Chains A and B, each alone.
Chain A
Amino acid sequence: MYEDMVTARLYEERLQDEYMEGKRPGFDISAGDIPGELHLAAGQEAAAVGVCYHLRDDDTVTAPHRPHHVAIAKGVDLKRMTAEIFGRETGLCHGKGGHMHLFDPDVNFACSGIIAEGCPPALGAAMAAKKRNTDSVAVAYLGEGAIDQGGFLESLNMASVHDLPVVFVVEDNDWAISMPKDRVTRPDDGSKRADGFDMRGVRVDSDDARAIYEAGGEAVARARDGNGPTVLEVQVHRRMGHFMGDPETYRPEEDQQRAADRDSIERLAADMREFGIDEAELEEIRDRAAERVDEAVTWAKQQPLPEPEAAHDHVFTNPPSGVTDEEPEFPGSGAAAGGDD
């Protein structure tokens, strides 16, 4: 668990540096090796690891726009994920998806950048497991800002009515971009959403990885044993802005300070020391994680960019005739309409 958390943290810090490469001076979102938006989750690792530790490859996870820590905890191929973020041909999605849209069928991982829209597909995965009489489960991750969205609320009802093996993990980092929870969401405790749907709701009030691990284990086991869905909300502390380049002028200094002070990784390390794990061992874990991150980034950057024509692949699995991998020729385009060409 500690190793995955450290990997996720180092990964995010490395991506932050890589992202800024080529964007200075000033900040041009479309410049550099990793363009587009980048939402980092440094500080939220406990929520990912604490729950995903209980999952198998055949369990499904749907992640939102801030997916890397969850992807790492679920065991998504780190090299190919990194190549995807760099827009490379050998990336998880051949450069089609990018950082908010990572798909790894080997471990049943998918993403969506549309708020709360990972919830309904998680229901579907849970439904498939139930219909096939397997004991796999589905976990949908979302932010506390997403619990006001219809897609989430409709999913709760359906999960409850159909008694589906699904866990909704709400990562409460107090902010939805610039909007603090207390201005846009009632009640304060998102796990209470479950009450109205006659299902189980649990809130873990700190980003203590061990507490989340316990609550996550219980929720996953319930789902796996056929005892129904859970909303599990966990308090996390995001260290960075909403996205890279976010001026964060709306975020009070205390809030940033609180995120810096309450670091779930440091907290877990302290616990481990107390259990008698010595510093050298922790150091070794950190070194291993650092090496893994470096390997992934180095590998990814050596990968080729896709050919421009590849944009036409993968629109369909089974392309209808007339839709090919090449730029379509439209009859008449460029041709003379009234006179000769």
Chain B
Amino acid sequence: MSTPTQEAVGRTATMSDAMVEAVAHEMRADEEVFYMGEDVADYGGIFDSTTGLLDEFGRDRVMDVPISETAYLGAAVGAAQAGMRPIAELMFVDFFGVAMDQIYNQMAKNTYMSGGSFSVPMVLTTAVGGTYNDAAQHSQTLYGTFAHLPGMKVVVPSTAYDAKGLMHNAIRDDDPVVYMFHKRLMGIGWMPAPDGPKTPVPEEDYTIPFGKADVKRQGDDVTVVTLGLHVHRALDAAETLADEGVDAEVIDLRTLKPLDRETVLESVRKTGRLVVVDEDYQSYGLTGEIISSVAEADLDALEAVERVAVPDVPIPYSRPMEDAVIPGAEDVAEAVRSVGK
């Protein structure tokens, strides 16, 4: 199957529309695919992740479930082990705690512990991210937590085009995939998105393979590595920096597991300077992982590094404090300036 390029299509879609299109396509193609979660039927998903699916597929295949994350996420594991292809939505990633055993000890480990006799072809979709002052139990990204735990593939799209291709791949994959979508990118009526995530999206199905980062902007001076919402903040920063004569390359990781270390390394070999931007907590997270990967592979390629992440504090409610801890475009630009040119 050839992947149509973005440039070749006329129509654009929001990230949520693109995700739903992929889900609907897979549900049409395969009776074994179904979707369950809180408010996914009549409401269409609090973050528009399932808009219109109930109308087309009915309540048997688009299921509202009780507020019982342990039960329904575990049920998805069981259905997946029985050979179905469930998609289960955890409304906010922050709620993972009430069902972590099913996620971490069952979904992620059963393939391994069974010596490969079971596979768990399910998708766990979940909303991530802050920037609208919802405080510490509703604003985390937790990329690092999920990528740290072995046994799950972790996907974080930043554009509609990527969201659709990655969703097709996620549903077709024989392993558990955690598909983390940033609320701020979805194009929801009540939470305006930046311009970037709304992109041309082909009508037909296509897959974007896991483990292939995308260079969203070419540049020679500094490599900025990031994902999700912060791809757009990094691109904004790159525009500002271009006016200052600094040419930043922006790499969108797209998947955290598998992680495309090669693309990052190649870019750093070209630029010599690395800035990693993450909306997750700084310690023991993505920023450290990327920097150590590059350092291990080619210490000499690194002239300077900087990381921009949430300092190790829960996300505060009040706006001045939330703004201070979640990296903005200016924080990214500042970090790029500080690694020099």
Q: Tell me the A residues contacting B by CB distance below 8 Å.
A: 26-30, 35-37, 84, 87-88, 91, 93, 95-98, 100-101, 112-117, 145-146, 148-151, 176-179, 183-185, 245, 249-250, 305-312, 315, 323, 327-328, 330, 332-339, 341
B38 contacts A179, C-beta separation under 8 Å? yes
- CB A177 to nearest CB in B, in angstroms, measures 5
Contact in complex: A148, B95 (CB < 8 Å): no
A100 to B306, CA, bound (A): 35
Inter-subunit contact A35/B321 (CB<8 Å): no
Q: Apart from A35-B133, A93-B317, list 15 A-B contacts with CB within 8 A.
A: A87-B133, A88-B318, A98-B133, A145-B67, A148-B66, A176-B67, A178-B39, A184-B67, A311-B324, A334-B304, A334-B339, A337-B302, A338-B301, A338-B302, A339-B304
A308 and B323 contacting across the interface, CB-CB below 8 Å: yes
A-B contact count (CB 8 A): 178
Chain B neighbourhood of A309, CB < 8 A: 324
Question: Contacts A146-B67, A250-B43, A327-B311 given: A101-B317 contact, CB under 8 Å?
Answer: yes
In the complex formed, the residue of B with least CB distance to A84 is: B317
What string of 1s and 0s marks CB contacts (under 8 Å) between B293-325 and chain A? 001000111111111000111101111111111
Q: A36-B132, A88-B318, A113-B138 are in contact. Are A28 and B303 (CB under 8 A)?
A: no
Q: Is the interface of A mostly helix, strand, loop or mixed?
A: loop
Query: Which chain B residues lie closer than 8 Å to A327 at the CB level?
Result: 311
What residue of chain A has the Cβ atom nearest to residue B95's Cβ? A114
**B81 lies within 8 A of chain A by Cβ:** no
Specify which chain B residues have a CB less than 8 angstroms from the CB of A91 in the assembled complex: 318
Query: In the bound complex, how far is the Cα of B43 from the Cα of A145, in angstroms?
Result: 16
Which residue on chain A has the smallest CB distance to residue B304?
Answer: A336
- Among all A-B residue pairs, the 5 with the closest Cβ atoms: A95-B318, A87-B318, A98-B317, A308-B324, A30-B132
Q: Mark B174-194, 1 if CB is under 8 A from A, else 0.
A: 000000000000000111100
* Interface residues in B37-65 (C-beta closer than 8 Å to A): 38-39, 41-43, 46, 64-65
B135 within 8 A of partner (CB) = yes
* A113 touching B137 in the complex, CB below 8 Å, given contacts A305-B319, A305-B320: yes
Q: Which residue of B lies closest to A88 (CB)?
A: B318
Residues of B within 8 A of A146 (CB): 67
Looking at the complex, which one of B192, B295, B300 makes contact with A28 (CB distance below 8 Å)? B192
- In the assembled complex, the Cα of A113 lies from the Cα of B191 at a distance in Å of 20
B106 at the interface (CB under 8 A from A): no
CB distance from B89 to the nearest CB of A (A): 13
Q: Provide a sorted-by-A list of 21 A–B residue pairs whose CB atoms are within 8 angstroms.
A: A28-B191, A30-B192, A35-B319, A36-B133, A37-B138, A96-B318, A98-B133, A100-B137, A113-B137, A113-B138, A146-B67, A148-B66, A149-B98, A184-B67, A305-B318, A305-B319, A308-B324, A311-B324, A337-B302, A337-B303, A341-B340
